[in-house]
Amino acid sequence: MYLKNCWYVACTPDEFAEKPLGRKICGENIVFYRGKGGEVAAVEDYCPHRGAPFSLGYIEDGLLVCGYHGLKMDSDGKPAAMPGQRTDRFPCIRSYPVVERYGFVWVWTGKADQADASSIPVLKWADSPDWGYGGGLYHIQCDYRLMIDNLMDLTHETYVHSTSIGQKEIDEAPVSTVVDGETVITSRHMDNVTAPPFWQMALRANDLADDVAVDRWQICRFTPPSHVLIEVGVAHAGRGGMNAAPQYRANSIVVDFITPETETSMWYFWGMARQFKPADVELTDSIREGQGRIFAEDLDMLECQQRNLLQYPERRLMKLNIDAGGVQSRRILDRLIKAENTIT
């Protein structure tokens, strides 16, 4: 149950800097590499000669070379050469629309003639020197929609992340969910609270006092097919909250690009774009390390949740007011998937 006529984050360029990268996305085995002119390319990870994966091969003069018998493939999926053989009658393989942008490689797994690079989300923070970014990748054995549920309901922070970003006020503060077209926005504001450990660190890193009351905010935005960007931050209490002047706040955007692998597994590209001390490399590394530990806690919970759901498929799950963000996100996905699969 996933959309195909859309852009997913497939990988980061460093993942295929030395050799081709094989990755399953939306149930399809794809190999990523740099073709002629250094442009990123993506084709089926399947050699038409004997079915070997091209990802076990190498690149030569911009051509993808099978590591089994040496068949060379061009980025359009057409065989280009093979030792001692003519390839003009060899079958072609599928190529995929692919774009390198914002430090990510985006792939379109649906109908190629519908791919439009202008529909890739605009990430203003990725092109601005006023923002610093650090992130990573987790391979998680769960339905990608469980991660969307997780990110659109941050109440779990109180329990799953109690030593880093969780606090009891998350439970107590009212939550608001609205739907704007195909975007779901869930918001929570906590005024005059104590900053949890992670945000105390962020205040210190921004040369702000960390032992005073703060106003905290969390604004989660889901957009199809599975992107969740979360505006988060703290500001010294009474200074305007998320609208406080920079000298009173520490804020960032939690970046979540969720890419289905199969029905019960996913690739999770996580990161944080921050608007304080963007050029501080040591701070970026420190935040990445801390955020990685936080998301590892989500990984354990989600994989155990998936195993339970597979064991008890007949059990219906409850829907509470805190689940509204995930419920509305799933409704949008269900509608779009049904429309995509409807034969006209």
pLDDT tens for the 344 residues of the chain, in order: 899 999 999 999 999 999 999 999 999 999 999 998 899 999 999 999 999 999 999 999 999 999 999 999 999 999 999 998 888 899 999 999 999 999 999 999 999 999 999 999 999 999 999 999 999 999 999 999 999 999 999 998 888 888 889 899 888 899 999 999 999 999 999 999 999 999 999 999 999 999 999 999 999 999 999 999 999 999 999 999 999 999 999 999 999 999 999 999 999 999 999 988 999 999 999 999 999 999 999 999 999 999 999 999 999 988 888 889 999 999 999 999 999 998 54
Q: Which domains does the chain have, with CATH numbers?
A: 7-119 (2.102.10.10), 129-341 (3.90.380.10)
User: In this structure, are residues 56 and 17 in contact, taking their beta carbons and an 8 Å threshold?
Assistant: no
Amino acid in position 311: Q
The residues, any chain, with a CB within 8 Å of residue 311's CB and separated by 6 or more, are: none
pLDDT at 321: 84
pLDDT at 51: 95
pLDDT at 6: 97
CA 325/CA 338 separation, integer angstroms: 20
Cβ neighbours of 26 (radius 10 Å): 20
Phi and psi torsions of 133, nearest 5°:
-140, 140
